Structure 1
Amino acid sequence: PVTQSIDRDESRQRQARDKLIQAWQGNGQAPGEGKDPYLQRLLMRQLEEQHIEAIISAVERYLLPPFMFNLAKSEPVKREKKA
């Protein structure tokens, strides 16, 4: 279900962090974001806790609001049935 809020449940937050780390490191099929030389120069080579916190903060500030706005616009409008 769509709740239009961030799930602060500890296990859910851990899953999200694990996904972030996986995206940074990559896997056997695809290189991670950490292999991008531009991101290495711009950000860092190793993803540490302080970097994870900075990424989360930036996402909540810059990416979450437009996503929420778009989500609200895309929900179907409930119409009353005519009698």
Structure 2
Amino acid sequence: MPIGISNVLLLSTAQKIISIEKIGSVYIVINSLSVAVMPVGSLFSGIISKYINSHLIMLICAIIFLVVSIIWFTIKELRTLPKTEKINL
């Protein structure tokens, strides 16, 4: 569920940041890359799950979310975006 929420927020924010002329191209690239790497990610996570405890995997995911949050807060353009309820899409 947190991944779904973050995806919606990130894609909504991307719609606000990306110019209307390029939004189609950007979404095609994002979707193409997502679909292309999904099998690799599934294979990688299947292999890793044999050797790593599920609690450690959850910790790694939490650390990745923390890193994304830190990156988000260090980039001024992202920090100064309007609140999600004030973004007109």
Which structure has greater helix proportion?
2
Q: TM-score range by the shorter chain?
A: 0.3 to 0.5
TM-score when normalising by structure 1: 0.37
Structure showing greater Rg:
1
Query: Larger RCO: Structure 1 or Structure 2 (Cα < 8 Å, ≥ 6 residues apart)?
Result: 2
TM-score when normalising by structure 2: 0.35
